Structure 1
Amino acid sequence: MAEGERPRPLLRLVQEGRLDLLRDELRPDDALSSAVRSQRYGRSGDTLLHHAARYGHQDVLAYLVEALGMDVEVFNSDYKRPLHEAASMGHRECVCFLLERGASVDCLKKADWTPLMMACTRQNLEVIKALVEHGANPLLKNKDGWNCFHIASREGHPQVLRYLLDVSPGSWDTESTIKRTPLHTAAMHGCFDVVELLLERCHYKPDSRDKCGVTPFMDAVQNGHVNIARLLLEKHQACPTALDALGAQPLHRAAVTAQDEAIRFLVSELGVNVNERATALQLTALHYAAKEGHAHTIQTLLSLGADVHAKDGKSRSGLNFTSSCAAPSTSKQLRPQLPEV
Structure 2
Amino acid sequence: MTSISTRTAALLLTALLGFASAAQAAPEDDLRQATRNGSTAQITALLSEGADPNLFMENGDTLFTYAMRSDAPEAARVIMDDPRFKTNLANRFGETPLMLAVFKGQKPIFEALLARGADVNGAKNWTALHYAATEGRDDFVKALIEKGADVNAQTTAGVTALHMAARKPDRAAVMTLLRAGAYRDLCTDRGLSPADFAKNAGDEELGNYLAVERCAYKGPRPKTAK
**Equivalent pair of 1:64/1:70 in contact (CA under 8 Å):** yes
Larger gyration radius, structure 1 or structure 2: 1
Q: 2:205 aligns with which of 196, 206, 209?
A: 196
User: C-alpha distance in 2, partners of 1:173/1:66?
Assistant: 42
Letter in 2 for 1:197: L
**Equivalent pair of 2:57/2:66 in contact (CA under 8 Å):** no
**Equivalent pair of 1:72/1:102 in contact (CA under 8 Å):** yes
User: C-alpha distance in 2, partners of 1:89/1:171?
Assistant: 27
User: C-alpha distance in 1, partners of 2:179/2:90?
Assistant: 32
Residue aligning to 2:90:
75
1:156 maps to 2:169 = yes
Letter in 2 for 1:199: N
User: C-alpha distance in 2, partners of 1:203/1:185?
Assistant: 11
Q: For the structure 1 residues 113 and 27, does the alpha-carbon distance in structure 2 shift closer, same or farther, using more than 3 Å as the test?
A: closer
Q: For the structure 1 residues 12 and 190, does the alpha-carbon distance in structure 2 shift closer, same or farther, using more than 3 Å as the test?
A: closer
Letter in 2 for 1:117: H
Letter in 1 for 2:111: C
Q: For the structure 1 residues 51 and 150, does the alpha-carbon distance in structure 2 shift closer, same or farther, using more than 3 Å as the test?
A: same
Q: For the structure 1 residues 133 and 46, does the alpha-carbon distance in structure 2 shift closer, same or farther, using more than 3 Å as the test?
A: same
1:129 maps to 2:138 = no
Alignment of 1:152-301 (within 5 A): 152-168=165-181, 170-187=182-199, 189-192=200-203, 195-200=204-209, 202=210, 204-205=212-213
User: C-alpha distance in 2, partners of 1:164/1:179?
Assistant: 20
Extract unaligned runs of 5+ from structure 2. Answer: 1-22, 218-226
**Equivalent pair of 2:152/2:161 in contact (CA under 8 Å):** yes
Using the TM superposition, give the Cα deviation of residue 171 of structure 1 relative to its aligned residue in structure 2, in angstroms: 2.5
Q: Percent identity?
A: 23
User: C-alpha distance in 1, partners of 2:167/2:211?
Assistant: 18
SS in 1 for 2:134: coil
* Alignment root-mean-square deviation, CA: 2.8
Using the TM superposition, give the Cα deviation of residue 176 of structure 1 relative to its aligned residue in structure 2, in angstroms: 1.7
SS in 1 for 2:111: helix
Q: 1:37-72: per-residue Cα shift (whole Å, max 9, x none)?
A: 3432133x2122213444566654443233351111
User: C-alpha distance in 2, partners of 1:53/1:98?
Assistant: 13
- More contact order relative to length (CA 8 Å, sep ≥ 6): 2
Residue aligning to 2:155:
142
Q: 1:10 aligns with which of 16, 21, 34?
A: 34
Residue aligning to 2:221:
none
Q: For the structure 1 residues 183 and 19, does the alpha-carbon distance in structure 2 shift closer, same or farther, using more than 3 Å as the test?
A: same
TM-score, reference length from structure 1: 0.50
Residue aligning to 1:26:
46
User: C-alpha distance in 2, partners of 1:132/1:57?
Assistant: 27
- Number of equivalenced pairs: 192
Q: For the structure 1 residues 158 and 38, does the alpha-carbon distance in structure 2 shift closer, same or farther, using more than 3 Å as the test?
A: closer
Q: 1:47 aligns with which of 62, 78, 83?
A: 62
TM-score, reference length from structure 2: 0.72
User: C-alpha distance in 1, partners of 2:113/2:67?
Assistant: 11
**Equivalent pair of 1:92/1:130 in contact (CA under 8 Å):** no
User: C-alpha distance in 1, partners of 2:37/2:212?
Assistant: 50
**Equivalent pair of 1:54/1:82 in contact (CA under 8 Å):** no
Q: For the structure 1 residues 59 and 113, does the alpha-carbon distance in structure 2 shift closer, same or farther, using more than 3 Å as the test?
A: same
Q: For the structure 1 residues 42 and 173, does the alpha-carbon distance in structure 2 shift closer, same or farther, using more than 3 Å as the test?
A: same
Letter in 2 for 1:22: I
Extract unaligned runs of 5+ from structure 1. Answer: 212-341
User: C-alpha distance in 1, partners of 2:35/2:81?
Assistant: 18
Q: For the structure 1 residues 121 and 203, does the alpha-carbon distance in structure 2 shift closer, same or farther, using more than 3 Å as the test?
A: closer
Using the TM superposition, give the Cα deviation of residue 123 of structure 1 relative to its aligned residue in structure 2, in angstroms: 1.7
**Equivalent pair of 2:43/2:78 in contact (CA under 8 Å):** no
